[in-house]
Amino acid sequence: MENHIVISNNIKQAVTEAVETVAHDKVFLLTDETTERLCKPLILDIPCIKDATNIVIGATDTHKNLDTLAQVWTQLSNGGGSRHSLMVNLGGGMVTDLGGFAASTFKRGIPYINIPTTLLSMVDASVGGKTGINFNGLKNEIGVFRTPETVIIDTEFLRTLDHENICSGYAEMLKHGLISTNTTFAKLLTFNLDDVDYKLLGEMVGESVAVKEKIVEEDPLEHGIRKALNLGHTFGHAFESWALTRKPCLHGYAVAWGLICELYLSAIKTGFPTETMRQVVRFIKENYGTLPVTCDDYPELYALMTHDKKNEAGIINFTLLGNVGDIRINQTATKDEIYETFDFFREG
């Protein structure tokens, strides 16, 4: 399950080497409408990509569904794809998740390469071998673990991103900081998201990926410590699913709001320092705003949390912290504690 991750400053060389190391009869290039326009031009003159069969899908998480997956399978099949074909996914987390799942299931599995183009997919979605689609109104409900042949991370793509997508990916970096060391965490809280230093951000991406990579290598199938990567996600996925039927939000924003909730739970249940929690809450509220939930939404949010894949026997499962880097997996909370946390989220 080991990820082969290349941090690149020469995209042409990195893509050529990655494609050449996989024996294949045909290359398929998956993009969405946005990465087709903004990112594909950066790799178009690479010989091994020039003759690839292009598959373009709709952009944003609303297309991360069974219909889009079926379109990709159809185009692989109609395009002469065989079990020896290679899929290259160029895009954000939606493209790498759905493309990875399509590749993992077509002909019982063909190899694939991820070239993440958003900050979120660089530090999170494209690394670690999780693939999947949303289903039945629930995030990532259907999917498999299957590792890409290579993940090529080139921070030059970050210049194609708007402010909101930089913030979205940065939330996962904040999470990685919280589960690693005080030094990494402190650096993250001082970064200026309104005036991005791309060189510094590139270095921080490398550090963030290393945090995830280390955990995934220890626990590829999420039986234990990999659950650390779920910090912020139990509440976060509920917020994201709730927003999907109203005004959809970016994944990282939902995770940031989930971090507020799960650090509050950590403060009341596992002794996480209140002042550190307040620092994070301040940073998130300044950069991510908030989600307009009311007391009337609590039952729906709670019901969404009961569907979370990490739950066991219907009990909602959290990853909490005793301190920065002090990870407490498999924590639970009562319905009253969860409602109290929603109160804090709205008023804290």
Q: How many domains does the chain have?
A: 2
* Same-domain check for residues 11 and 147: yes
Confidence at residue 3, expressed as pLDDT on a 0 to 100 scale: 57
What range does the domain containing 326 cover?
222-348
Domain CATH number, residue 299: 1.20.1090.10
* Same-domain check for residues 59 and 141: yes
Residue ranges of the chain with per-residue pLDDT less than 50 = 1
In this structure, the strands spanning 150-153 and 112-116 are parallel
Phi, psi of 82 (to 5 degrees): -125, 180
* Same-domain check for residues 227 and 153: no
Residue found by looking up tokens 């200026």 in the block: 192
DSSP letter string over 245-265?
TSS---HHHHHHHHHHHHHHH
- Is the residue at 151 inside a domain? yes
Domain end: 110, 129, 160, which one? 160
- Is the residue at 272 inside a domain? yes
Rounded to the nearest 10°, the torsion over CA 42, 48, 122, 58 is 70
Q: Which residues does 344 contact at the CB level (< 8 Å), separation at least 6? A: 260, 261, 264
Cα distances (angstroms) measured from residue 116 to each of 5, 31, 64, 95, 112: 11, 11, 16, 9, 13
- The DSSP 8-state label assigned to residue 157 in this structure reads G
Domain end: 160, 181, 204, which one? 160
| Cα separation, 246 vs 242, whole angstroms | 7
Domain CATH number, residue 89: 3.40.50.1970
Express each pLDDT in 232-254 by its tens digit: 999 999 999 999 889 999 999 99
- Is the residue at 175 inside a domain? no
Confidence at residue 233, expressed as pLDDT on a 0 to 100 scale: 95
The SS3 assignment for 101 reads helix
- Is the residue at 189 inside a domain? no
Express each pLDDT in 28-70 by its tens digit: 999 999 999 999 999 999 999 999 999 999 998 889 999 999 9
Q: Which two structure tokens, joined as six digits, stand for 250?
A: 């970016």
Express each pLDDT in 286-303 by its tens digit: 999 999 999 999 999 999
* Same-domain check for residues 236 and 142: no
CB count within 10 Å of CB 347 equals 6
Cα distances (angstroms) measured from residue 76 to each of 85, 89, 166, 212, 347: 9, 13, 32, 31, 50
* Same-domain check for residues 286 and 156: no
Rounded to the nearest 10°, the torsion over CA 131, 133, 136, 141 is 10
- Is the residue at 144 inside a domain? yes
Where on the phi/psi map is residue 192: left (φ > 0), alpha (ψ -120 to 50), or beta? beta
* Same-domain check for residues 144 and 239: no
CB count within 10 Å of CB 67 equals 10
- Is the residue at 251 inside a domain? yes
- Burial track 121-146 (b if 16+ CB lie within 10 A, e otherwise): bbbbbbbbbbbbbbeeebbbeebeeb
